[in-house]
Amino acid sequence: MLIAYLLFVSTLLYEAVICNVKKSCHKKCDCLGTYVDCSKTMINTFPEALPPWMETLDLNLNKIDGTLTIDTSSYLHLTTLKLTKNSISSFPIFVNKTKINHLNLAHNKIEKLEALENLPNLKTLDMNKNKLVFLDDHSFPQSTHLKILNLNNNLITNLTANCLDTLINLVELKISHNKLNNLPGGLFKKLKNLEFLDISRNHITVIHGLLFMDLVNLKTIILRQNQIEDLQDGSFFGLINLQSLHLEDNNLSKISKGWLYGLNSLVYLNISYNRIDQIKSGWEYCAELEELDLSYNKLQYIEKSNLENLRKLQKLHLNNNRLSFIEEGSFNNTPMLRILQMDHNYLSWLIEDAKETFIGLRNLKKLSLANNKILFIKKEAFSGLDNLDELNLLQNNVLEIQDEAFKYMPNLEYLYLNSSSLVCDCSMSWLKQPNIFESLPFDYINAFCGFPEKNKGKNLKEISLTDFSCLENSPKPTIIFHPESKMVLERQNITLKCGVNSSSTEKINFVWKKDNHDLELISTNHYSSFEFNGMTQFSVLNLYNISMSQSGKYQCVASNEFGITYSNRSVLSVVVYPFFAKVPGNSSIKTGLTARLECAANGYPVPQISWQKDGGTDFPAAQERRMRVARDDVFLIVDVKLVDMGIYSCTAKNVAGMIAANATLNVLEPPWFKSEMSNKQVRVGEEVVLECLSYGYPRPKIKWIKDGVSLTLSNRHFFTAENQLLVIMEANTDDSGTYQCEITNSLGVNSQKVDVLVMPLYQSLIHEYTLGLVVIAIILCIIIISSIWVLFVYKAKRPSPNLINNADNKSLDSSNSKDSGTGESTKRSQEQLFNECLNAGQKLNNNLGNLSPEINSPLLTHASVILGENSVKYKHSKTATLPVKLPTTELHETVEDQIKCIKTSEKPCSIPAPLPNETQDSPPIVQQSCSDVNLHEQTVDPL
């Protein structure tokens, strides 16, 4: 009974609750617990009589229009409100503050964001497909918890720089499909927490540097379908956590290091559907990149450096480009690559003629080369693909597959190949070898033979091994004449010739390639000649007025319906004769400064510049380490000297030829003297030679001045050696004075002075005689002293008999000696004798100087000047006498009164006075005798 009662009570309570719910739910709505669905009910206003515990209200697809006023005071639990696909024209007015977290107003006609003050808990706001035109600084209230904002598909043309400043908690922002032309700087400065940003499908043309620098937590940015032509340097700087970047469908033309800077965390980069024609290095900033999409661009080639630093790349999309060349070793930089798509390009040569293109792709799993016009698969084409699972060669009308072409792919599971023109002769018999045929995945191969006739139309799987027979004369083309490598001057005309043999009379299709690119709009001639084994066809490539851009590797590709063949690559080197861009010019420079000679030349190869001086390679500046090279076109000589003056030749040389240009370097030097002039003292009648050795450039002009007055030529004054020597013949006392040598050039003036003294004849003679007597007296005294010393030593060595006899009784007492030098001895010591001789010589000189100077001596005549190499000499024209008579008696007596030479024997000696000898040309002889010593006749040169 108790259980039955409880069931009855429960039933009544449930009925009551159901009745209450039905009474509180709008008649057109469905109340499903906390979810109230009022969508598609054609209501045009906010419904009433809704459950108070309602959390989600769906008002989608109704006819609500105009301004909607909402009172949520009765719905305290409402957190989600959906108003999509109505006709609301302005943002709903909430009467009171609500707890709504998610508000969806998509597909309405709202033109302005406002009245958000009563939505303090709003986290998600969807304004997709409205008619918003702009966002200003007042669009969002100050305090908001908004995290997701969808503004896609509006008409927004302008955003103020501060319009998003209050959205500091925003995590996801979508402004796709609007009409934005520009993003103002600082727009995202407050969005530190933003992780997802979609600005696709606008009209943005330029992304300025540092625009996103404050978005430190951004992980994905979508910029696809804009009109971006330029990404400035540092466009994505600051996005240190960015992992995904979408730039597809823009107008970008290049990938450069500048705008990749800072993308250190990037994992996915999509630049497809642009017009990029080349890839430059710069991937060092994207070392974490795992997927790169470059499809649908205009790439023509990939060089080895284009994929550097992509060591973690796993997926590379290069399909739908214009690729015709991939440099060998390019994929060595992408060792982790697993998927490589290169469909719809011009990479037939990559499989037909290249070698080791895929070396380095040991981890590649999928390779797609569909629609690349591949006709021939070379033996080494897929070397390096050890772990390849899938190979797509669809839409390539392959004619021939060389032996062992698939042996480098032991793990191949999917081989997609369709062809209807295989040449099924003995060259293809290897495919039917049991170990090969069983390992190939023929389930994905749809290949048929096109030749020979017996196999035509048969599926490759149906033909037996015996059907692959060899033909006596093969119709497949074979190169018999390869184009030759050439070196030509620019603007010349050249031809390259290619010859192909085939048993087929069908016309050979010739294609000329340059650097693996097909040449278009070129002049070619074709002709044929019949040989015993078939027909040989030739193709001649004509290149007129050739330019530098036509340098490269040329190759002839010949094909017919039976096969294709490649010639060797001929290297065409176009060289340009050197020509000067800068020609050295004449220059003048002062010593001590730096000379600058410029010379630059253009040409190809780049000419080598060399210098010569005066036609040789002897550079004093180089030997003295004064030569510098500031730049390739600037040659410097520091601390210039006169030896650097000369003609400098600049030579530019390359393989095409050589040119030269000359320039004269003049070194200017102020005037200076090699040595100082010395004072002169000569006798009357002698010559005077003054040397003024000057240097400088230009050559200094020399001017001689005496006592302030310029000297001029006369019968006794001569200037020689370009005025560097002043010669005065038969000097007289008037020639005494101060002489000045003044040198002058364009850089300055310099001068030096010298004093000249011309002595009268009697003064010079007296001076000479006196000097001679003094010398003789000194020599005589030295001889006398030496003799005394010898005699003293001799006597000292002979022992006295008294000393010997008294040796045992007495000893010598030196203190009692009379010759101890104390002055008490009656004999003079050696030192006293020497001093007396010196005093006597001085007195003699004084007495001779006191003689009367009044001597009547005529001037010397009949002389001539002989100029030697380094000096000027004076020579008498005949023997001349010196009519000078000195008083002999008085002089002799005077000398004997003043000089007495004492020897150990105390015998006096006499010094006769000098006597003039009228019969000799030499000066008077001074004779001196002292005891047994005789001085022979000596001659003293007056000069």
Dihedral (CA of 300, 305, 306, 307) sign: positive
* Res. 929 pLDDT band, cuts 50 70 90: very low
Q: How many domains does the chain have?
A: 4
Return d(Cα 377, Cα 373) in angstroms, integer. Answer: 11
* Res. 28 pLDDT band, cuts 50 70 90: confident
Helix (H) / strand (E) containing 775: helix 761-797
Higher pLDDT, 425 or 187: 187
Q: What is the DSSP string of 698-732?
A: SPPEEEEEETTEE----SSEEEETTTTEEEESS--
**What mean pLDDT comes out for the span 374-402?**
91
Q: What is the DSSP string of 850-916?
A: TS------PPP-SEEEEE-SS-EEEEESS---------HHHHHHHHHHH-----TT------PPPB-
Query: What's residue 761's pLDDT?
Result: 66
- Flag whether 712 is in a domain: yes
Q: Which of 66-80, 432-446, 528-542, 836-850 has the lowest mean pLDDT?
A: 836-850
Higher pLDDT, 489 or 916: 489
**What mean pLDDT comes out for the span 656-678?**
87
Return d(Cα 147, Cα 430) in angstroms, integer. Answer: 66
Most confident of 331-335, 438-442, 633-637, 872-876: 331-335
pLDDT digits over 513-541, tens only?
A: 888 778 877 787 777 776 545 688 899 99
- Amino acid (one-letter) located at 892: H
Q: If DSSP codes are grouped into helix, strand and coil, which group holds residue 21?
A: helix
Q: The pTM is what?
A: 0.61
- Flag whether 336 is in a domain: no
> b/e per residue, 605-627, with b = 16+ CB within 10 A?
eebebebbbeeeeebebeeeebb
Question: In this model, does residue 855 exceed pLDDT 90?
Answer: no
Judge if 66 and 108 occupy the same domain. Answer: yes
Closest to 127 measured CA to CA, from 117, 138, 116: 116
Among residues 128, 144, 168, which one ends one of the domains? 128
* Res. 765 pLDDT band, cuts 50 70 90: low
Closest to 326 measured CA to CA, from 349, 344, 343: 349
DSSP 936: P
Question: In this model, does residue 354 exceed pLDDT 50?
Answer: yes
Residue 932 is encoded by which pair of tokens? 């047994």
Return d(Cα 450, Cα 561) in angstroms, integer. Answer: 9
Judge if 112 and 30 occupy the same domain. Answer: yes
* Res. 763 pLDDT band, cuts 50 70 90: low
Residues ≥6 apart with Cβ < 8 Å to 321: 294, 295, 296, 297, 298, 299, 300, 344, 345
Query: What's residue 153's pLDDT?
Result: 97
Cα distances (Å, whole numbers) of residue 477 to 441, 454, 563, 564: 30, 21, 6, 6
Query: What's residue 21's pLDDT?
Result: 44
Question: In this model, does residue 542 exceed pLDDT 60?
Answer: yes
Query: What's residue 310's pLDDT?
Result: 94
Query: What's residue 8's pLDDT?
Result: 53
Question: In this model, does residue 473 exceed pLDDT 80?
Answer: no
Q: Is residue 677 within 8 Å of 749, Cβ to Cβ?
A: no
Return d(Cα 80, Cα 103) in angstroms, integer. Answer: 6
* Res. 342 pLDDT band, cuts 50 70 90: very high
Question: In this model, does residue 899 exceed pLDDT 70?
Answer: no
Question: In this model, does residue 889 exceed pLDDT 50?
Answer: no
* Res. 783 pLDDT band, cuts 50 70 90: confident
Q: Which of 116-120, 259-263, 373-377, 813-817 has the lowest mean pLDDT?
A: 813-817
> b/e per residue, 422-456, with b = 16+ CB within 10 A?
bbbbebbbbbbeeeeeeebebebbebbbbbbeebe
Return d(Cα 286, Cα 266) in angstroms, integer. Answer: 6
Return d(Cα 66, Cα 87) in angstroms, integer. Answer: 7
Most confident of 93-107, 435-449, 556-570, 878-892: 93-107
Query: What's residue 825's pLDDT?
Result: 38
Question: In this model, does residue 824 exceed pLDDT 60?
Answer: no
Query: What's residue 753's pLDDT?
Result: 87
Most confident of 308-317, 498-507, 543-552, 914-923: 308-317
pLDDT digits over 499-510, tens only?
A: 998 888 888 889
Q: Is residue 257 within 8 Å of 234, Cβ to Cβ?
A: no
Return d(Cα 330, Cα 307) in angstroms, integer. Answer: 7
> b/e per residue, 89-102, with b = 16+ CB within 10 A?
bbbbebeeebebbb
Judge if 703 and 632 occupy the same domain. Answer: no
**What mean pLDDT comes out for the span 6-25?**
49
- Flag whether 500 is in a domain: yes
Q: Which of 168-172, 504-508, 522-526, 645-649 has the lowest mean pLDDT?
A: 522-526
The CATH number for 505's domain is 2.60.40.10
**What mean pLDDT comes out for the span 344-357?**
88
Question: In this model, does residue 885 exceed pLDDT 50?
Answer: no
**What mean pLDDT comes out for the span 477-486?**
90
Return d(Cα 478, Cα 499) in angstroms, integer. Answer: 9
Higher pLDDT, 86 or 451: 86
Say if residue 636 is exposed, middle or buried (CB neighbours under 10 Å; 0-12, 13-18, 19+). Answer: middle
Helix (H) / strand (E) containing 15: helix 2-24
Query: What's residue 17's pLDDT?
Result: 41
Question: In this model, does residue 771 exceed pLDDT 80?
Answer: no
Question: In this model, does residue 220 exceed pLDDT 90?
Answer: yes
Strands 600-604 vs 570-582: parallel, antiparallel or unpaired: antiparallel
Among residues 669, 694, 719, which one ends one of the domains? 669
Judge if 750 and 703 occupy the same domain. Answer: yes
Return d(Cα 754, Cα 693) in angstroms, integer. Answer: 14
Among residues 128, 144, 178, which one ends one of the domains? 128
Most confident of 305-319, 454-468, 591-605, 874-888: 305-319
Q: Please confirm whether the linkage preceding 120 is cis (ω < 30° from 0).
A: no
Q: Is residue 558 within 8 Å of 479, Cβ to Cβ?
A: yes
Query: What's residue 107's pLDDT?
Result: 96
Question: In this model, does residue 844 exceed pLDDT 50?
Answer: no
Q: What is the DSSP string of 277-344?
A: --B-S-GGGGTT--EEE--SS---EE-GGGGTT-TT--EEE--SS---EE-TTGGGG-TT--EEE--S
- Flag whether 826 is in a domain: no
Query: What's residue 762's pLDDT?
Result: 59
Residue 35 is encoded by which pair of tokens? 């979810």
Judge if 648 and 684 occupy the same domain. Answer: no
CA angle 673, 677, 683 (to 5 degrees): 155
Judge if 627 and 657 occupy the same domain. Answer: yes
Q: Which of 65-69, 224-228, 418-422, 709-713 has the lowest mean pLDDT?
A: 709-713
Judge if 590 and 551 occupy the same domain. Answer: no
- Flag whether 115 is in a domain: yes
Query: What's residue 834's pLDDT?
Result: 44
pLDDT digits over 156-165, tens only?
A: 999 999 999 9
* Res. 764 pLDDT band, cuts 50 70 90: low
The CATH number for 104's domain is 3.80.10.10
**576 backbone dihedrals φ, ψ, rounded to 5°:** -120, 130
Judge if 486 and 560 occupy the same domain. Answer: yes
Query: What's residue 519's pLDDT?
Result: 84
Return d(Cα 361, Cα 89) in angstroms, integer. Answer: 59
Question: In this model, does residue 847 exceed pLDDT 60?
Answer: no
Return d(Cα 258, Cα 45) in angstroms, integer. Answer: 55
* Res. 141 pLDDT band, cuts 50 70 90: confident
Higher pLDDT, 345 or 792: 345
Return d(Cα 920, Cα 937) in angstroms, integer. Answer: 13
pLDDT digits over 116-140, tens only?
A: 889 999 999 999 999 999 999 888 9
**What mean pLDDT comes out for the span 100-118?**
93
Judge if 697 and 710 occupy the same domain. Answer: yes
- Amino acid (one-letter) located at 833: L
Q: Is residue 694 within 8 Å of 724, Cβ to Cβ?
A: yes
Judge if 517 and 590 occupy the same domain. Answer: no
- In the block, which residue shows the tokens 């590649």? 364
Q: If DSSP codes are grouped into helix, strand and coil, which group holds residue 738?
A: strand
pLDDT digits over 732-759, tens only?
A: 888 888 988 988 887 888 888 888 888 8
Judge if 111 and 43 occupy the same domain. Answer: yes
Strands 608-613 vs 646-654: parallel, antiparallel or unpaired: antiparallel
Q: Is residue 653 within 8 Å of 680, Cβ to Cβ?
A: no
- Flag whether 564 is in a domain: yes
Query: What's residue 531's pLDDT?
Result: 58
Query: What's residue 105's pLDDT?
Result: 96
Dihedral (CA of 860, 866, 868, 871) sign: positive
Residue 834 is encoded by which pair of tokens? 């020497």
- In the block, which residue shows the tokens 């043999």? 501
Mean pLDDT of the chain: 80
- In the block, which residue shows the tokens 């003079």? 828
H helix and E strand count, the chain: 9, 62
* Res. 469 pLDDT band, cuts 50 70 90: confident
- In the block, which residue shows the tokens 């009474």? 23
Secondary structure E strands in 491-594: 494-502, 509-514, 517-518, 523-531, 534-543, 552-560, 563-566, 570-582, 587-590
- What does the H/E/C string look like for 489-516? ECCCCEEEEEEEEECCCCCCEEEEEECC
Return d(Cα 450, Cα 537) in angstroms, integer. Answer: 23
Range of the domain at 644: 583-669
**What mean pLDDT comes out for the span 317-332?**
92
> b/e per residue, 750-779, with b = 16+ CB within 10 A?
beeebebebbebbebbbebbbebbbebbee
Q: Is residue 674 within 8 Å of 622, Cβ to Cβ?
A: no
CA angle 168, 172, 178 (to 5 degrees): 105
% pLDDT > 90, the chain: 36
Q: Is residue 696 within 8 Å of 653, Cβ to Cβ?
A: no
- Flag whether 608 is in a domain: yes
- Flag whether 106 is in a domain: yes
Query: What's residue 840's pLDDT?
Result: 46
Judge if 105 and 84 occupy the same domain. Answer: yes
